[in-house]
Chain A
Amino acid sequence: EVQLLESGGGLVQPGGSLRLSCAASGLTFSTYAMSWVRQAPGKGLEWVSTIGRSGDNTYYADSVKGRFTISRDNSKNTLYLQMNSLRAEDTAVYYCAKWAVSGRGNYFDYWGQGTLVTVSS
């Protein structure tokens, strides 16, 4: 069974930093692209970032570009999101999600339970 377990969320002051982790199990982690998706309180879903299988290709939402860095350690089956220069508007539940690529289509087929990041003084 595929499991994704996020950790690292918490309360941080504006301008501060935080690193989120997503530990994956039940899958061959290195063969899948992975992403972070966030959801501000009471708001909709927002894609944040995606990283390719080997980590060579990364993509970011404009809202986090230059402040957030996605990375992965395939030897540890773990995805990361380093978040710097945090702003109040970054307050959200952050989900990691597995990106499935098949001949019939691509999609997020597994999600973690989410970790809450609160940016406040």
Chain B
Amino acid sequence: AIQMTQSPSSLSASVGDRVTITCRASQDIRNYLGWYQQKPGKAPKLLIYAASSLQSGVPSRFSGSGSGTDFTLTISSLQPEDFATYYCLQHYTYPLTFGGGTRVEIK
């Protein structure tokens, strides 16, 4: 199975900060990667698909980049509603695998 190593596992940041989260795949997954945001007690929400495509309705401060094995989710200016946990998901092959998650907390 492809392993997705996500880092950091948690971070503290202030409103307005630029935040970067990375995911590394254990093998080449081309651009078969999505990013999801999850708030406590809620279902995950799609932010980015195909590594860099912004899902409709998602604010443009979110962006994704990368291909192959290294991927990045960037929040250009952190907003209060962005404090949540973020997960990457590879769908290059089964079993689908999520990264371990990054909890973004208020500094």
Chain A positions within 8 Å of B, measured between CB atoms, are 35, 37, 44-47, 50, 59-62, 95, 104-109, 111-114
Contacts and interface: CB of A to CB of B under 8 A. Distances in A.
Contact of B98 (A47, A60, A113): A47
A47 B96 contact: yes
Interface residues of B, number: 25
B69 interface: no
Contact of A108 (B31, B36, B99): B36
A108 B44 contact: yes
B1 A62 contact: yes
B83 to A, nearest CB: 17
Contacts, number: 62
For the complex of A and B, 9 pairs with smallest distance between CB atoms: A105-B50, A111-B43, A107-B49, A47-B96, A105-B49, A44-B101, A59-B94, A45-B98, A107-B34
B94 A50 contact: yes
Nearest to B47: A107
Nearest to B38: A45
B34 A61 contact: no
